Structures are given as structure tokens and as C-alpha cells.
Structure 1
Amino acid sequence: MTVSRDRGTGGLLLVHAHPDDETITTGGTIARYRRLGVPVTVVTCTLGEEGEVLGEQWAGLTADRADQLGGFRIGELTSALAELDAGPPYFLGGAGRWRDSGMAGTPAAEHPRAFVASGAEAVRALTGVILELRPRVVVTYDPHGGYGHPDHIHANRVTTEAVEAAAETGWDTPKFYWTVTDADILSDHLRALARRTVDGLPGALPPGWRLPAENELACVPGNSVTTTIDVADALPEKRAALRAHATQLTVAPSGREFALTNMIAQPVLPEEHYILVRGRAWAGGPDGREDDLFAGLV
């Protein structure tokens, strides 16, 4: 399966496990680089069939009922990517080739199409995408998969192996990053949210939401982050893309936070964070980190 020619070569390639991951962790980055005219391709590895849903409106779609959630989420992803100006979805191996594996130890992990069992076939498929698009920058999760979802962990493995395989057969990706969240910045925003909530100030948590417990949200030590992308100007697009994933999450009226089906508040940060794992870092930001994923590239 080839990639649509209108995506362009030499740009940014992001590999995500499920619809909504692209927006939650990298939506501001996608919108920022599209504003700059950089070609962006988002590769999604599954349809997110095993996701939980918000409310009874979508309950009949879930895997234990009609099992139609994956198809519905294609539409959500299409809308979200349109808000980010990132083109139509591209599913690794074709839509439905690999299925959401669910959390570790669940029956979903034993499904014959579970992404965690995709092995060499998924690596070959992604290697083909890399060789065709020749991205200057590739992004996926860290080896822990952010919050530990098996599909996120496997996406890291598949992407790492595909980047290496492509380097041996025609395209050596100049820069390869993991998407992460800086623990220090996350803590700053959560403290501000807690103060607003306790004092009943504008921007307090909506009813039914709760603050995350300590270390409940995925993050990494600030000193491990190599790159900070300022996405403040792209937050309108990111918020719109978040709202497009209506079965999965809710954006607070203030636009400052969102919550998944667990109703734990997560800040919509004005910056997105990365760790460079292949290529040379070019510090240029005020904090001594890179401020551009393409820094140092011609």
C-alpha cells in the first residue's frame, strides 16, 4: 500500500497507536509545522477498537457490544487531522489490518490481528512508508509508551526497527524523536489548576472531574527533555482536534484542560516536549534546548 502522493516528502512523520493519540501528545506540533508548510504524515497503527467511550450515547459501539467503535473513530480521526491540516488518515498496513490490543492481560491482546503481535510485517510496512516519504524527522513514543499501553510500547519498537531498516536500504532519517511530557512543566500547570479549583476561580475543574494524583499522569524528568516546541499559537487547532475525538475525551469550557473517560484533568500545555534519540541536537531555545524539530537540517 503506497502513501498518497499529495503528502510530500522530506517532512515530518509521526507514528501513533490509536486515533486521538496524535492530537493529545503532538497536535500542537502537527498544526505548527503545517502552518509553516512542512509536509506532515500521521501514521496510525490501529482503529482504537478497544477504547472506552464517554456516556451512553456511544456505549453501543464498544467491543463488547456492536464492536463498531473502530469504524466510528476513523471519522473522528479524519475530522481531527483536518483541524490540524494534516490530510486524511493513513493506517499502517491499511485500515483494520491491525487491531487495538487493549491493555496487558485482557482478551483483546490475544486477538489474531492484535497490533502487539504484528511483528516483522508491521516493521516492513512502516519501512516502506519511510522509504517512500523520506521524512527528515520521525516521531513516536518512548520505550515505555508514555503511560504504558502495549500498543504504544509496540509502536516504539516497530518505529525504531523501521527507522533502522530504512537506513540500511535507502533512507537514513536525520532526526528521530520520542514524544514525552516534561514533569516540571506538567507540575506547574497542575498546581495552577489546583489553586483555581480550590479557590473557585474561573477555569476551575468542571463538575465530575478530578485532579490527578501524584505521578498519575505520564511524564519524564525535565533534564531528559532535549526539545521544547512552542505550540501556544496552535492551541486553537489542537483544541478543535481534541473535540473531534468526542467518544474518547472532553475539553473543559476554559479550553485549558481535557479529560479522558476516567475524568482525570490533563492540561492542554502551550508547549510539547521531545527527546532526540537519533541525530544531532541543536540547542537554540531560551532554556538551552532545541526549539525546532528540524533544527540543523537543510
Structure 2
Amino acid sequence: MTGSAKHALFVHAHPDDESINNAATMAKYVAAGIGVTLITCTAGEMGEVLVPELEHLAHDQDDKLADQRKLELTNAMAEIGVTDHRFLGGFGKYRDSGMQWHEDGHAIAADTIHDNAFWNADLTEAADDLVAVIREVRPQVLVTYDQFGNYGHPDHIQAHRVATYAAALAAVPSYRNDLGEAHDIAKVYWVAMSESWMREGLRAMRAAGDETTFEGMDPEGQLPPFVTSDDNLAAMVDGTEFHEQKMKALAAHATQITTDGPFFALSNNAGSQAWGYEFYRIAKGEKAAPYDDKGLETDLFNGI
């Protein structure tokens, strides 16, 4: 491919993270002929299993969930049209680290994790796995999590660290020439969830009598750390045209997401805008026009 061709690279921790955060954006870019590459850092081996007949795949039983989640990811990407999706370093190199909940309401590392868990990965080695991809596909835009992994999950935090370090290393002309020609990514974004959007969605659900979805979240009270103040947002991609594809991608992750769960409940109450609009913070590069009426970029490629 040529250096002028538009290409976006998304770096996520587990299968399903990409559909929750970016499915509409990815579908929109695919439809526009923009290159999209998804890197998934683990196969989500430690995830819960919501399908009764597949419960035996869980990590505390047969420990065979990885292959199922790989299939679910393939099906989800087929729904939104992404054909270039890969596992960091190859399928199975880095294992899902698992997590537990802190009393303050955010995720932390589990008490016991596997030796090859992503949380234990050597940062330079994992970054080099991504440097090779960056130098191959040569994206202008990279999307990943913030430094807290949005809610504290160790694999999300590690994905942030790996993506950030890899983006820096990939741009150094004298670094690891065996991994390809140096490439500097113009813009780096962190996935985000708008505070005003989340409050509006919660109000709609509570008004409809739904008190169980996102239980404990008060639309007028303090919200969890994955919700971002609107003042910190830089971009909002309008992917409402691809809302149905996003819902199908979410449903494809059947062991992790149920169609009567919070993502679908929010969508049913707040309409296509619930998950069709996807928000971002800018971590590298400059905001650029065109902007929407709230001063947010309408495209992650603005100014490129």
C-alpha cells in the first residue's frame, strides 16, 4: 500500500472490546474504502461464559474458551467488514490476565495470573510485535485505551502501554530495521464515553422503568471511571448509519454479551445514537476541522 492511503489501526485487549468501543467507526471507515486493521492482544481466555451449553469452555473447567472467542471475533468482524484482524504476536502468544473488582468499583489484577498472561508480558517484546504491524500497514491513526485502560483492567492498561511504546519505537529510523521501515503515526486517540451521552442514556432507561441495567449508576450522580467528561473529548464519529452492524457485531460475541444485556438495553431506550456515536480523546497530534456543533472532530483523519 502507499503511504498516502488512509489507514486506521485499532489496538484492543480482548475479543468484544473492539465491538463495544469502535464497531461503528470501523464499519464507517470500511464502507468509505479506508484501511482498517484490528490488533487483539489476547484471546479472552479468562472471560465469563454466558452460553450455558458452552460453560465447560471456561478457564476453571476445560480452559478452551480461546478458540470460541476467536470464532466470535471472526464473526463480529464479518458483520462490520473488517478483513485484517490479527492477534498480537500470533494467536495464543499472550493470555488473558483476568481481573477482579476493587472495592472502589474499578478493575484490578487478579491475585493469581498465568505466566504468559499479557500483564506479565515484556513491554519491549510486546511492543516489537506491534511495531512490525505499524510499519507494515503504516496507519495515520491509532486507537487504543487511556492510561487506566478506561476502567482499570490490567490487559487494557497493558494494551495502552504497548500501543504507546510501539507507536514511539516505530517512528525511530535506527530502531529494529528488521521490523520494517520507520513510520510515524500522525494521530493517536483513546476511546472514551461521553458523560453527557451516558447521563442521557441512563435517564432514558430509568424513565422507561429499567432500574437493573447499569444497576447502581445514578444519571445525576457520580459515574464510573470509564465515563469521560465532555471537556476532555476531541472527536465524535457519527456511525449511526452502521448502528445495526454494531449490534450484530456485539451479538456475535455470544459468550460475553447477551442481547438482553446493558448494551442492547441502552440502545433500545436511547435509539441508534446510543452506540452509533463513538467518542475519542486525542493523545497525539492536533484537533482539526471540520468540527460538529460541540467543537468535536467529525473524523479521526481530520487534518491529515
TM-score (norm 1): 0.86
Give the CA deviation at 1:106: 2.3
Distance 1:19 1:270 in 2: 19
> 1:269 maps to which residue?
275
> 1:79 maps to which residue?
75
Distance 1:254 1:213 in 2: 12
Tell me if the contact between 2:10 and 2:37 (Cα under 8 Å) persists in the aligned partners.
yes
Q: For 1:116, what is the secondary structure of its paired residue?
A: helix
Tell me if the contact between 2:73 and 2:253 (Cα under 8 Å) persists in the aligned partners.
yes
Q: For 1:139, what is the secondary structure of its paired residue?
A: strand
Tell me if the contact between 1:43 and 1:90 (Cα under 8 Å) persists in the aligned partners.
yes
Give the CA deviation at 1:58: 2.0
Tell me if the contact between 1:20 and 1:242 (Cα under 8 Å) persists in the aligned partners.
yes
Paired positions, count: 275
Distance 1:276 1:90, change over 3 A: same
Distance 1:9 1:75 in 2: 30
Distance 2:84 2:247 in 1: 18
> 1:263 maps to which residue?
none
Distance 1:174 1:50, change over 3 A: same
Give the CA deviation at 1:126: 0.4
Equivalent positions of 1:42-191 (< 5 A) are: 42-87=38-83, 89-103=85-99, 104-109=108-113, 111-118=114-121, 119-169=123-173, 170-191=182-203
Give the CA deviation at 1:112: 1.5
> 1:279 maps to which residue?
285
Which residue identity lines up with residue 290 of structure 1 in the other structure? E
Distance 1:55 1:254, change over 3 A: closer
Give the CA deviation at 1:213: 2.0
Which residue identity lines up with residue 301 of structure 2 in the other structure? F
Distance 1:216 1:82 in 2: 32
Distance 1:190 1:137 in 2: 31
Give the CA deviation at 1:65: 0.3
Give the CA deviation at 1:196: 1.0
CA RMSD between the two structures = 2.3
Distance 1:237 1:293 in 2: 20
Tell me if the contact between 1:226 and 1:289 (Cα under 8 Å) persists in the aligned partners.
yes
Distance 2:192 2:293 in 1: 19
Tell me if the contact between 1:180 and 1:220 (Cα under 8 Å) persists in the aligned partners.
yes
Distance 2:98 2:145 in 1: 17
Give the CA deviation at 1:57: 2.1
Unaligned runs of 5+ in 1: 198-203, 260-266
Distance 1:36 1:154, change over 3 A: same
Q: Say which is worse superposed, 113-122 or 20-29, in terms of deviation.
A: 113-122
Give the CA deviation at 1:69: 0.6
Give the CA deviation at 1:47: 0.3
Distance 1:43 1:25, change over 3 A: same
Distance 1:115 1:184 in 2: 33
Q: For 1:70, what is the secondary structure of its paired residue?
A: helix
Give the CA deviation at 1:167: 1.4
1:225 to 230, 233, 241: 233
Cα deviation digits, residues 7-47 of structure 1 (max 9, x gap): x9640100000000000011111111111110101000000
Identity %: 38
Distance 1:62 1:247 in 2: 10
Give the CA deviation at 1:288: 0.9
Q: For 1:33, what is the secondary structure of its paired residue?
A: helix
Distance 1:209 1:250 in 2: 12
TM-score (norm 2): 0.85
